[in-house]
Structure 1
Amino acid sequence: MAVFPLPIGDRVPERGWQLQATLLPERLPELLAGRGVGIGCRASWVVALDLDVHGDEDGPGVLAALADRLGVTVPETFTLATPSGGRHLYFRAPVGCTVGSVSGGRTLLGPGIDVRGPGNSSGGYLVGPGSIIGGRQYAIALDVPVAKLPGWIAERLQARR
């Protein structure tokens, strides 16, 4: 995945983060030394579901209930555990995917599910593994290859446009 630096303890990148996102492993030691990690969705060509867990929001439960109702499964894919108990599920974006970033329960997937995608221009981003926010770490929860974005999810995200 294409990574870029985040300020220590912060989720908000510096201006120009899109130009810093790189897939080149040789740049990582210099780029990320003493920094948090951001994942650029457009440069990585991924769509990520941010399954929130706080207050009344249960993103993982909402996604599981939707999959159950449709008679499908959520595929195993690269997953991060967030400090709040939520999850970031990463999926390979299909060619030509313009799914943008949507927050605040405004996706057709349901409440508690935010989306970060390649978008039409610079795309969205997520806090990456190893980053620490509020003294708590974003950690790899499932270290498997990034799965293809399931059609049943893509249909709901693209219907939003």
Structure 2
Amino acid sequence: MIRAMIGTVAVLAGFAVVERSVDASTGQGDACTPTDSYTWLQQGEFVPLRAEPSMGAPVVGRVQARSAEPDGARAMVSLSGSQGGWARVTTGDGRSQGWMPADLLMVDARVNGPLNVQTHPGAMGRKLATLEGEEEVFRILGCRGAWLHVINARTGDAWIDRWCAKEEGCRS
């Protein structure tokens, strides 16, 4: 009986280690497939890019919207990694690269075909929903490989396998 309990505890501890290693927002530096995302900025606003994923790190650039719309505009970036709630990005014009708070970044569900929403990326995840033809907006928490760790009011904290950052959507 005691051996069975010890074995069960060991298996559960192993699952906890695997689960934590999959979560990109826990502090490990995860790389991801470079992907477009955006932040919504008002006229004159900008987001500083830092040399490291820390508020105390030196500023090495900035993310700024290209157009001066009175209601605000999308500032496009390419996301390439995440660590502890920070996103490693390159500005849309390719001039600046650095770290910014990940939850300032967004993507949409406006894609061709279904978008899977899961508890974890890949085979470890349980499907929470499949979205198709919906207008959902997700805030980014992190990334891992070809998956984004996101959050929104409808699905909560989840991982998605497809997304769009274009203002007009990605449906053909």
TM-score interval (norm. to shorter): under 0.3
Structure index of larger Rg: 2
TM-score normalized with structure 1 length: 0.25
Task: Name the structure with the higher strand share.
Answer: 2
TM-score normalized with structure 2 length: 0.24
Task: Name the structure with the higher helix share.
Answer: 1
Name which structure has the greater RCO, CA cutoff 8 Å, separation 6+: 1
